[in-house]
Amino acid sequence: MKSFVKALDKINKVWMTIAGSAMNITLLVILALFAVLIIMRQFFHIQFFGQEEIVTTLSVWIYWIGCAFGTYEDIHVSGDLIKTLMKTRRQKAIQRVYTFTLNTIISGYFLYLAINWLKFQAKLKPLTDALRFPKMWMYVSCGVGLTFTTIYFFMHLCKAIYVLVTDKPVKEIP
């Protein structure tokens, strides 16, 4: 079992490296694109046809990969007053089991909806207005992001259950 967990951990580390690199590269491409657009517009009075579609598609990918990344790191936005009131490890574990159960269910449901949306869009084969490239490139990012977000919420749920059952810190999970 430990070798299986280690193999999954290695696969996940590779994915996180790829995802982090993809986010950084995409952000640099967007910044470079904006710089080129500003120079073209200000100095040469030339418009870049379809630039909004490129920037929007890249931005949506950054958003969904960042969502999965934040879920993995457990740094997603939360406003949880109850968490500050919990004093013992057991109380915190109960609260985390509850929170991550809800997060996993909700994320899984949205993943289900996203898959159905992707199936529907695959039949329509919509194209962007200006450049006429498939909108599926943008829509697939939602499915990818929600898949990993659901997996990571479930992973955090399993850790919280382990802490609740064993009363050991997460660092001692095999």
Q: CB-based burial of residue 138 (10 Å sphere; 0-12 exposed, 13-18 middle, 19+ buried)?
A: buried
Residue 174's pLDDT is 45
Which residues fall within 8 angstroms of residue 29, CB to CB, at 6 or more apart?
58
Residue 144's pLDDT is 95
- For 133-159, write each residue's pLDDT tens digit: 999 999 999 999 999 999 999 999 998
Band (10; pLDDT cuts 50, 70, 90)? confident
Report the pLDDT averaged over residues 92-105: 93
Report the pLDDT averaged over residues 47-61: 89
Residues 174 and 2 sit within 8 Å (Cβ to Cβ): yes
Predicted structure pTM score: 0.85
Between 48 and 24, the more confident residue is: 24
Which residues fall within 8 angstroms of residue 149, CB to CB, at 6 or more apart?
67, 68, 71, 107, 111
Report the pLDDT averaged over residues 9-15: 87
Query: In the chain, where are the structural domains located?
Result: 2-172
